Chains A and B, each alone.
Chain A
Amino acid sequence: MSRTGTPAWMGRPTPAVRAAKAVALTVVVLLVIFPLWTVVATSLASPQNVIENGGWVIWPEDFSFGAYTEILQGGIITRALLVSTAITVVGTALSLTCTIGLAYTLSRPKVYGGKPLLLLVLFTFLFPPGMVPLFLVVQSAGLFDQYAALILPFLVNVFNLVVMRGFFQSIPSELIDAARIDGAGEFAILRKIVLPLSKAVIAVIGLFYAVAYWNRFFEAIIYFNDQTKWPIGTVLRQYVTGGASLAETSGELATASPQSVQMAVVMLATLPIVCVYPFVQRYFVKGVVTGALKA
């Protein structure tokens, strides 16, 4: 819905109302952006700058990339970033493949066994697996200290599956029937007709999966004894909220203050999300419109 101007019935808001709204919106936006800004500023400030300011900086007086060179020259954080990247890429690809396959099958009206299979999947939504039983399943599958333990237990998300299935159902069946009459097999139909039409939903669901994989930290704590395999979230928890000091692992912190290094780690854990987000965000709108039309 796009509105080009104030409708006549609304009347002109009084200056006081407009000012109040502007203030409210500015406060909301600043509450979100300001904390993130101090992270950027502190991570880029020189050690002296940070010390003089008492641990954080709002506007760096002299810039220094020392914190970034410090943590990217190898060591546990560099490795954790690589682990997280690999898990996110591989996990998202696997999750999308499995979700698309299952969602497409469940979206076809007369597929053999469709109804019971759908119930089988949807029941898990009502009773999600408990922490301890899931742990035993992962253990029995021999996934301890395996990167797969951060991927396989979260392969398909019921919500994502249901959204994807709904999107496939909204594709006009005439298109699919026409292709079938032309002799296309089910797989060709999925690849050449359904998937090209579903770019928006695949982008959004892909983002959801990627963000979930990138942000996952808890599972590595219970499934990994080998700390060198930790993803960035787990490492971040250890050093930022767990109270451990980075100095122990990073050696001499001559070029950057510990605060800058911590904030640089927060930055590096946030940056990929902030970079990908604007490209996928336009699809949210498309998705919401489709969803609203269907509802």
Chain B
Amino acid sequence: MNILFQLGTAREALDVSMTRVRGGTGGTSPPVEEPPTRSKEDGSRPGHLRRIRADRVLLIIAVPGLAYFLFFHYGALFGNVLAFQDFVPFLGLSGSEWVGLAHFERMFGDPEFWNAVKNTLVIAALQLVFFFPAPLALALLLNSIVGDTIRRFVQSVVYLPHFLSWVIVVALFQQMLGGAGVVNGWLSDLGMGGISVIGNPDAYGPLVIAQLIWKECGWATIIFLAALSQVDEQQYEAAALDGAGWGRRLWHVTLPAIRPVIALLLVLRLGEFLSIGFEQFFLQRQSVGPETGEVLETFVYFTGFASGDFGYAAAVGLFKGVIGVALIYTANKVAHRLGEQGVYQR
């Protein structure tokens, strides 16, 4: 897939949406719904009605997709009002009582919430430190393979886990590292004591990072490989003529050349710092218990769906969403200050 493409367009996406956020100009409703007030204008500026008629085929084929976004995304956006309600499913949004900021007050005094925040931050930091550089290292290794056949084969293999579901990945790790798993079988054959990884709270952080690296590291190399293929071959040649060895070429040619991509990805990652994923943690929370395994998204799930405390759960979800937008915004400010092109341009 074209990740560069995605990134370029993601940048564009953020660019426009950030202007909206900052400008604060409301009214996202499409002008398609506006009444055709200027339908009698001259031919150089055709009226709304005439333009709608001219584009009718295009507008009609866009309707199913637009309806989806309006109903599910904007509907859910509006649904966030239940964060300010004492929501009773039977009464619905219109019948439930308004409670103002009560859910947020409760949230700030809730030790379980702060425990989820702490766990989320710890895992996010581990992801940043250990997962972020891994694809870069793998991409450098892949890029240094001269043989096309071997490289394609390794790429095919390492991309594959990206397409497996978290259920399968978790099952595979249990099969490998569980108490009766393959690795423990080997260790006991060698006469050594077993290792306790699955269900061990102390090993939970390293375990979830290892799972993430196994699943996504290969796929994440695509963007780095694309950037590496753009590095000017002549610079390598010149550096080699000047007597630069493998290490110095890496440090003085390769890394500076792909620095913008690294910076951009780092900014994107920082902007999504809290988005550590849901399914992976949902699947394994029980195995280590909420003390270690509860992250913000699982907290929302278990508060809302297991305890039926919908209003409070929505408040926590909304809180996380708002912090997320603020993080993307701040990360971009920092990127600009560092002189790098951020996710959106000024």
Contact = CB atoms under 8 A, between A and B. Distances in A.
Interface in B291-346: 297, 300-301, 304-305, 310, 313-314, 317-318, 321, 324-325, 328
Interface stretch (B116-124, B125-133, B146-154, B200-208): B146-154
Secondary structure call for the B interface:
helix
Contacts of B21: 126
A210 to B, nearest CB: 10
A186 B54 CA distance: 10
A113 B52 CA distance: 9
Q: Which 9 A-B pairs have the closest CB atoms?
A: A291-B2, A102-B65, A133-B79, A291-B5, A129-B76, A215-B165, A101-B61, A130-B317, A9-B240
A217 B55 contact: no
Contacts, number: 334
A218 B282 contact: yes
Contacts of A208: 1
Given A112-B51, A287-B1, A120 B69 contact: yes
Given A116-B30, A123-B20, A162-B10, A104 B58 contact: yes
Given A10-B240, A137-B79, A21 B145 contact: yes
A217 B164 CA distance: 12
Interface in A152-194: 152-153, 155-156, 158-159, 161-163, 165-167, 185-187, 190
A31 to B, nearest CB: 7
Contacts of B284: 241
A112 B32 contact: yes
B226 A116 contact: no
Interface size class of A (residues with CB under 8 A): 35 or more
A31 B304 CA distance: 38
A254 interface: no
Contacts of A54: 180, 185
B17 A32 contact: no
Contact of B82 (A7, A122, A132): A132
17 contacts: A9-B237, A28-B141, A29-B157, A120-B30, A127-B321, A131-B313, A132-B82, A132-B310, A133-B317, A163-B5, A217-B165, A233-B167, A277-B163, A288-B3, A291-B2, A292-B226, A294-B8
